[in-house]
A and B are shown apart, each in its own frame.
Chain A
Amino acid sequence: MFLRQLQNELWKLFGKKRTYIGFAMFLLAQNAIILMFRFTNATRPMKRLLESNGYFAQDFVSTLTISTVMVILLAVTLLPLYVALVGGDQVAKEAEDGTLRMILSRPVSRTRLLLVKWLAGVVFSIVLVLALGVFGLAFTRIWFPGGSLFVFIPGEVFGVFDASTGLARYAEAHLIMVAKAVTVFTLAFMLSCFNMKPAAATILALSFFLINRILEEIPYFKEYEQWFVTYHLDVWRWVFIQHIPWWQMAQSLFILLGFNVTFLTIGATVFHVRDIKS
């Protein structure tokens, strides 16, 4: 019965047009970036950097490298926006529309309903991250050749990998990025359980992460960067470090797990005690 409820929740979620905004915008943004790289001299600084480090640059101007450049940017900007949009809708939109009242006239516990909705959101987060990765590779492949992977994030990552290792790292990064997407989704979902408009839940969730990002980016706070959730949200980027700091990454993932459990518990408690009115 639980699986049927989850299946129906997915029907509801993927039956809505607004669910696809994220996918559509990824397509748009990725193709814009790809075309910029293809028809301008934007790859020149990348080549210079590689050659100054003794690498044959042409091998690295590849599908994997351009896809990774896009992912690094889109995962910071657009991904949180779209998972927060869906998370903010999950409960608040149904409460606003009145369909929640219809469901809650049925003998289903609020906790179970919330769990089903949360899991549907987790599935959405996974699909969106998957789309980000696959779309990136697929569209970049149209304009760029296959080849090695070069990743450069100033002050954080300088990685060069052959094609097969690069592809594995690319896949692993997306796997860990799911933790980021789910965390952002869960915060928006928690806020959605309060008596507020869906847009308010989305905006509040995004504001929370933006404030964390601002605090993290202030140079004077550098030694406290681990205090901010955004630091842990971006651990997927460490997959591109030559020697992956697995232990540090595991610690950050546990912290994200803690955030998720806390958000979900608060959301469930609020949802349980609140009155559902027309």
Chain B
Amino acid sequence: MISLRNVTKFFGKRLAVDALSLAVPRGEIYGLLGHNGAGKSTAIGMMLGQVWPTQGELFICGHDITTRRQRALQKVGAIFESPVFYDYLSGWRNLHILSTYTAPTSAARIREVVDWVGLTGREHSKVRTYSHGMRARLALAQALLPAPELLILDEPSDGLDPEGIHEMRQTILRLHREMGLTILLSSHLLNEVEHLCTRIAVLNRGRKVFEGTLADARQRQRWVRLRTSDFAVAVRELRAAGLVQDERDGRLVEPVEGVGTDALVRKLVELGLPVFEITPEEETLETFYLRLMRENPAEPPTDGSAHPAPQSPPATRP
């Protein structure tokens, strides 16, 4: 549904997105993860034809967004962080206005969508009287009006209270389940992404530093939690035996490629060290993300001279 190839964007001399390549298959809930200023919103802006790429190709629903924008966005809905509307008009009028920029939309269709998002009864009130949660629902309604196949959500939970976040999360899952929508969402809320997404890409300073499934992210490192009578001695002996290559936090060891936990237990028992617990450690998205950021430290702002030409896409993991 979305395909980005080597997309680069400079704002003046500032590099915002660096040789980004992404592929979002149909039916996925795809998370674009990164801290503020990582390039997520710029990437989404380019996907919607609002920001022109400096270099690269972007295809949305099979159409080049830069040359066939109208065709590409025919079946796309989008929501941005802190949804804004014409506050002095009613929710209904806002939906009517926005719908005319896609295709003729019947009153019945607008009513159906209003009902779906749970705004029935308030649709004729002025938007300025809406709560943040109601605005979020109205934003969802406008995105659903063209009966989209692809939904692009830029920080959809931004500014919502915990109840609103929960509601938004359930709605996204419902959209995916009931309507079979492909959803791309950007967020810096790891918990949100962890609960929703089937596949993620992590951006750091405009560069993609990871793309894969959540399972890939969690299992990228083979850390093993080890509890024994003397962790330091155990690590030293296991290293000497060539079974372990790293340790951290006084409780985790990283076995050498091809070495299983059984080999570690066998060695420790041979050495007479009691093993109270040994279990593969699964990373949380948070620890994975933080480690990615450590491994790919933010570089100082790049200007045109320091970064003369976009390079080929960075190697992605795994």
A107 touches B101 (CB 8 A): yes
Do A109 and B82 contact each other (CB < 8 Å), given the known contacts A11-B89, A104-B49? no
Q: Does A12 contact B (CB under 8 A)?
A: yes
> Mask for B72-92, Cβ within 8 A of A = 1, else 0?
111011101111111011000
A16 to B100, CA, bound (A): 20
A78 to B52, CA, bound (A): 39
A1 to B101, CA, bound (A): 8
Q: Does B21 contact A (CB under 8 A)?
A: no
A277 touches B41 (CB 8 A): yes
Q: Does A222 contact B (CB under 8 A)?
A: no
A278 to B83, CA, bound (A): 11
B73 touches A107 (CB 8 A): yes
B70 touches A107 (CB 8 A): yes
- Shortest beta-carbon distance from B20 to chain A in Å: 16
A1-27 residues at the B interface, CB under 8 angstroms: 1, 4-5, 8, 11-12, 15-17
Q: Does A44 contact B (CB under 8 A)?
A: no
Closest B residue to A104 by beta carbon equals B50
Q: Does A97 contact B (CB under 8 A)?
A: yes
A109 to B71, CA, bound (A): 11
B93 touches A277 (CB 8 A): no
* Secondary structure call for the B interface: loop
Closest A residue to B41 by beta carbon equals A278
> Mask for B128-172, Cβ within 8 A of A = 1, else 0?
000000000000001000100000101000000000000000000
Which one of A107, A273, A275, A278 lies within 8 Å of B69 (CB-CB)?
A: A107
Closest B residue to A113 by beta carbon equals B101
Chain B interface size, under 10 / 10 to 19 / 20 to 34 / 35 or more: 35 or more
A276 surroundings in chain B (CB, below 8 A): 45, 50-51
A17 touches B84 (CB 8 A): no
A84-143 residues at the B interface, CB under 8 angstroms: 97-99, 101-109, 113
A4 to B88, CA, bound (A): 19
A106 touches B73 (CB 8 A): yes
A106 touches B88 (CB 8 A): no
A11 surroundings in chain B (CB, below 8 A): 89, 93, 97
Closest A residue to B70 by beta carbon equals A107
Do A106 and B98 contact each other (CB < 8 Å), given the known contacts A12-B86, A276-B45? yes
A16 surroundings in chain B (CB, below 8 A): 88
A25 to B205, CA, bound (A): 51
Do A15 and B98 contact each other (CB < 8 Å), given the known contacts A102-B80, A276-B51? no
- Shortest beta-carbon distance from B126 to chain A in Å: 10
B69 surroundings in chain A (CB, below 8 A): 107, 109
- Shortest beta-carbon distance from B137 to chain A in Å: 15
B80 touches A98 (CB 8 A): yes
A11 to B74, CA, bound (A): 24
A16 to B88, CA, bound (A): 7
A4 to B105, CA, bound (A): 11
B80 touches A101 (CB 8 A): yes
A17 touches B88 (CB 8 A): yes
A184 to B233, CA, bound (A): 83
B33-83 residues at the A interface, CB under 8 angstroms: 41-42, 45, 48-52, 69-74, 76-78, 80-83
Can you spell out 23 A-B residue pairs with CB atoms less than 8 angstroms apart? A5-B101, A12-B86, A102-B78, A102-B80, A102-B83, A102-B98, A103-B101, A105-B78, A105-B80, A105-B152, A106-B146, A107-B70, A107-B73, A107-B76, A107-B101, A107-B102, A108-B70, A109-B69, A109-B70, A275-B11, A275-B45, A276-B45, A278-B154
B residues bordering A, Cβ < 8 Å?
Answer: 11, 41-42, 45, 48-52, 69-74, 76-78, 80-86, 88-89, 93, 96-98, 100-104, 142, 146, 152, 154
A residues bordering B, Cβ < 8 Å?
Answer: 1, 4-5, 8, 11-12, 15-17, 97-99, 101-109, 113, 273, 275-278
20 more contacts with CB within 8 A, not counting A102-B84, A278-B45, are: A5-B101, A8-B96, A11-B93, A15-B88, A17-B88, A99-B85, A101-B45, A101-B80, A102-B78, A102-B85, A104-B50, A107-B71, A107-B73, A107-B76, A109-B69, A275-B11, A275-B51, A275-B52, A276-B51, A277-B50
